[in-house]
Structures are given as structure tokens and as C-alpha cells.
Structure 1
Amino acid sequence: MTPEIRAQILSLIQEHRIMSIATLRGDGWPQVTTVGYANDDLALYFLCGLDSQKASNLARDNRVSLTIDHDTPQVMEIKGLSMAGRAEVVTERAEGEKALALLLARYPQQAGPELPLPKPDDVRIFRVEPIVISVLDYSKGFGHTELVTC
């Protein structure tokens, strides 16, 4: 991975706060959901309910595919990334607290008694380490992608 591509990937990750993540249901069909995320370098953290469909899917098969992007007024302005990786359950309390702190930093308006951030024991926290990243930049041509193996 070149320093330029790495910088572009990190910029896209920092520029956004939500991603669409696909997991595999028990019947083999993909399920896509939108989640908030935070990052530590290229590793992404997200959380979900302990008994959620997403947690159940990932307990069975931890492969994920995700996208980070946003809507643009012009097709040729589309920029974003897709990533394939494995979602690992965060089991160490210190890492879980770190992930929640990173999420809170991304959503500072979340701090407050009316909707407190959950504690690590109340949710399932996942870390996604990328295996393959595809950087999409239509400004370089329709459908232009740079494929990066991590």
C-alpha cells in the first residue's frame, strides 16, 4: 500500500461516521445494515445488541464486507471505499472501553444523561481488520478503483 493510498483511505474513514456492513445470515443470504463506527488507524470498531441478528450472523461467520461513502450531487464526484475483512469480537475490557471512547469522540453530541453510551458489557463490540480495500474515485474516471491488499 502506497503512502498516498493509505492517506486517502484514512481520509475517507475520518470523513464519515456511518458504514453499511454486510454479514451472512444462517440461510446464506447477505444482510446489510448501517452502523456508526470509529477507527484506530485502519481497524474499524462498531457495536450492536448482544442478541441482534448481526451478532448472531457474525458468531456463525465473521466475514464482512462494508462500504463507507456518501451521496453526491454528481455521479463523477462519487468517492468512497469498500472493505472485506473479519469482524472479531472485542473481549478485553480495556479494548472495549477504548472502542467506546473512540465512538464517543466521533459523536460528541451523544454525551449526556438523556441517551448515555452503553457500557462494554451491555453490547457486542466488534473490530474489523481489513483484508482487502477498494478505493473508489470517479473523479479519476467512471468506476475507477484502486485495490489494496492489507
Structure 2
Amino acid sequence: MDEDIRRKILTLLNQHRIMTVVTLRPDGWPQATTVGYANEGLSLYFLCGLDSQKAANLARDDRVSLTIDHDTSDIMAITGLSMAGHAQAVTDLAEAGRVMQMLVRKYPEQASLPGPMPGPEDVRIFCVTPTVISVLDYSEGFGHTDFVTCGPAPQRA
């Protein structure tokens, strides 16, 4: 992957906190949901309820598509990411605890809310490993996209 594109991707990932993740329902229709995320390099982590539709969808089919972007009144200022990848459940408790701390750092406002943050045992945590990434940057021309192939997703324990 070109280093300039990698830097652009990481900058966009680090600037934002929410993404729309798309999973496949049992009837084959896509289900889009907005979630918070934290990233470690190109790996994205999000959590959801233990019995959520997302968790059930991903248990059946780990393929996801997602978008990360922001609202702007200037159409030529649109920037964002679109990715396809695989979402694997994080089952290692040490990794889950580390991810929860990453999310706390990404959402420091949550520290002032009443009640404790959920623990890793209270939620389902997923790690998305992208296989392809589209980097949108309209400042380089209307609809300009750089397409990056990341390779197959590594198998998680």
C-alpha cells in the first residue's frame, strides 16, 4: 500500500468516531447500523449488545461493509472511507479489555456519565479487518476515489 494513501486512511480513521457498518440479515438483505469505533492501525473495533441483530448476523456471515465520513455543506470537501472486510468476535479477555480502554480514550466524555461502563463480558466486541478500502477525496475531483486492496483477513483465535 502506498505510504501517502496509508497516512490519509489513518488520518481519517483517527479524526472520526462513528461509522456505518453493514451486515447481512438472514433473509439476505443488508442491515446498516451506526456504531462508535476505535482503531488500531487499519483494524477497527466496535461493540454491540450480546443478543443484537448485528451479533447474530456476524455469527452467520462475517462479511461487512462500512463507511466513515462527516457532514459538510461543501460537496467538494467530501472526504471519507468505504471498506469491505471481515468482522471477527474478540474472545480473548486481555484483548477485549485493551479494546474497551481504546474506546474510553476515543470517547472521554463517557467518563462523566453516571454508572459504570459495560465490561467486556457485557457486550460483544468485533474487530474489522479490511480487505479493500476506497478513500474518497472530492478535493481531488468530483467523486475521486483511491482504491486499495489489503489482502485476505488474518484468522483470529
Q: Which amino acid aligns with 1:18?
A: I
Equivalent residue number for residue 56 of structure 2: 56
The secondary structure found in structure 2 opposite 1:64 is: strand
Equivalent residue number for residue 118 of structure 1: 118
- Tell me the CA shift for residue 112 of structure 1: 3.9
- In structure 1, what is the Cα distance between the partners aligned to 2:9 and 2:143? 17
- Tell me the CA shift for residue 113 of structure 1: 5.7
- Tell me the CA shift for residue 115 of structure 1: 4.0
Equivalent residue number for residue 145 of structure 1: 145
Q: Which amino acid aligns with 1:54?
A: K
Q: Which amino acid aligns with 1:46?
A: F
Q: Displaced runs of 4+ in structure 1, greater than 4 A?
A: none
Equivalent residue number for residue 42 of structure 2: 42
- In structure 2, what is the Cα distance between the partners aligned to 1:92 and 1:99? 11
Gaps (5+ residues) in structure 2? 151-157
TM-score, structure 2 as length reference: 0.94
Against the structure 1 CA distance between its residues 149 and 122, is the aligned structure 2 distance closer, same or farther, given a 3 Å change threshold? Answer: same
Against the structure 1 CA distance between its residues 115 and 68, is the aligned structure 2 distance closer, same or farther, given a 3 Å change threshold? Answer: farther
Gaps (5+ residues) in structure 1? none
Deviations 1:25-70 (A, max 9, x none): 0000000000000011110000000000000000000100000000
- In structure 1, what is the Cα distance between the partners aligned to 2:41 and 2:144? 24
Against the structure 1 CA distance between its residues 67 and 115, is the aligned structure 2 distance closer, same or farther, given a 3 Å change threshold? Answer: farther
- In structure 2, what is the Cα distance between the partners aligned to 1:70 and 1:85? 21
TM-score, structure 1 as length reference: 0.98
Structure 2 matches for 1:1-150, cutoff 5 A?
1-112=1-112, 114-150=114-150
- In structure 2, what is the Cα distance between the partners aligned to 1:93 and 1:111? 22
